[in-house]
Structure 1
C-alpha cells in the first residue's frame, strides 16, 4: 500500500470504534426503495463544516500542493487506457491532488456505498448526513420520512458487489468529481405496518445497477468526499 500518505481516501481504520461502526452496517442493504434521482449540484460551501470529525466521513489524505509524481500518473494509466477521456480526466484530478489513486478510490467507494444504502434502509440520518451533500441528503431524508409515515420498514441483506468501476472523472474549477458504476446483489423487501411485503422479496436475490458521483474541493482544508448524485443504471 505504500506510505500512509498513499492510503486510500476512504481510510476508516483510524480507531477501533470506526471498524466497529462499519461492521455494524455491513450485511444490510436496500435497492428497491431508492430515493428520487438527484441531479449533480455544486456542493454548498457550508457542507464543508459538517462531519469533519465524524469517523464515518470518507476522506482522502493529501500530500500538499506538490506536482504529481510519475508513479501517480502510472496508476492512472494502469486503470484507464492512455489517451481516453477517462484517463485524461483522472490525470487532471491527480494534478490537483497527487495522492489520488483510482484503484484505491474504487475500494473505498464500495465501502461507502454499503454504508450509505444500509443507513438508508435503517433510517440512519446521522450517518447519511456525514456522507452526502446537502441536496442528496434532503432527498434521502424525504424518502425515509415518507416511508416511516406509512409505517413501512425495509428488511435487506447484502449479497455482494459484483463490479465497480470509475466511468468518469473531471475537475470543475477546484472540485474533483468522480462517477462510478456499481453493480451489486442484495435481498431486500419493504414491509407495511402489518409486516406484509409491499415491494421486493424476502428471499430473492436482486441485481442492482447504480451510477454514483462523489465530489471534493481539492483546495479546501476539508478532506471529505461526499455523494452528490445517484442514478439507477438501466
Structure 2
C-alpha cells in the first residue's frame, strides 16, 4: 500500500529537481544572449553625438586612428605626443572657435577674444578694434562656414600647430562677401589644459 505512494513521491522529487535545473539553465541563457548579441549599427536618424572624453578613456591599441591626406604626418606626430587627440573632435572645435572669434571681433568684445588668441594676434586685433569708428563696431555677421578643413599640421617640440583652411560668407545686411583664410591653432601637448588658441591668420587663395 505504501510502495506506490513512496514511488510517486520519489518521482515527483526527481521531476522537481530536473525542472528546477532546466529553468535555471534557460533563465541564465536568456540573460546572457542580450549581452553577447552585437548591437545593430544605428541609422543616421538614430545616431547620437559621441562623448569624446568617454571615447578616449575606452580607446585601446586596436582603436588607433589612421590619418590621411597632406597633414597625416603632422597629425600622427601630434597623436603620438598626446593620444587624447581626435581629428574629428578638433575640427568640430575649430568650427565653433571660428564662429566665436569672428562674432567677438565683429562686436569688439576684447574680453571674449583674450583667452582665445595668442598675444601677437590679440594685439593686432585689439589695434584694429581701437581704429574703428563707433558705427563700425558690428558692421558684419558670419552667415555660414562653407569650408573648414585641416590644411597642414606639425609638432615643434612640445608645441602642436594645426592649420585650418576656412571659407565663409560674411554679410552686413545688404551685401555679402567671401572670406578665405588659413588660421593656425596651437597647443602645448604636455599641458593639462586641452584648449587650443589662435596663433596666426593668413589670407588664402
Q: Do the two structures share a fold, i.e. TM-score over 0.5?
A: yes
Separation in 2, partners of 1:181, 1:4 = 23
Separation in 2, partners of 1:6, 1:88 = 26
Aligned-partner SS, 2:187: strand
How much does 1:115 deviate?
A: 0.6
Residue in 1 that maps onto 2:45:
none
Residue in 1 that maps onto 2:138:
154
Residue in 1 that maps onto 2:181:
210
Separation in 2, partners of 1:227, 1:73 = 25
Residue in 2 that maps onto 1:73:
65
How much does 1:69 deviate?
A: 3.8
Residue in 1 that maps onto 2:165:
181
Is contact 1:72-1:99 (8 Å) kept? Answer: no
Separation in 2, partners of 1:207, 1:157 = 12
Q: Any residues of structure 2 matched to 1:4-19 within 5 Å, and which? A: 4-5=52-53
Confirm or deny that 1:101 pairs with 2:72. Answer: no
Cα 1:87–1:6 shift into 2, 3 Å: farther
Cα 1:141–1:212 shift into 2, 3 Å: same
Cα 1:175–1:152 shift into 2, 3 Å: same
Confirm or deny that 1:233 pairs with 2:204. Answer: yes
How much does 1:112 deviate?
A: 0.4
Separation in 2, partners of 1:233, 1:117 = 17
Q: So what's the TM-score if we normalise by structure 1?
A: 0.61
How much does 1:68 deviate?
A: 8.1
Q: Deviations over 1:166-203 (max 9, x none)?
A: 01111000111000000111203xxxxxxxxxxxxx41
Separation in 2, partners of 1:233, 1:90 = 21
Residue in 2 that maps onto 1:90:
75
Q: Greater CA radius of gyration, 1 or 2?
A: 2
RMSD of aligned C-alpha atoms?
A: 2.3
Q: Any residues of structure 2 matched to 1:128-147 within 5 Å, and which? A: 128-147=113-132
Cα 1:215–1:70 shift into 2, 3 Å: farther
Cα 1:230–1:3 shift into 2, 3 Å: same
Aligned-partner SS, 1:91: helix
Aligned-partner SS, 1:136: helix
Of 191, 194, 200, which aligns to 1:220?
Answer: 191
Separation in 2, partners of 1:172, 1:129 = 24
How much does 1:72 deviate?
A: 3.3
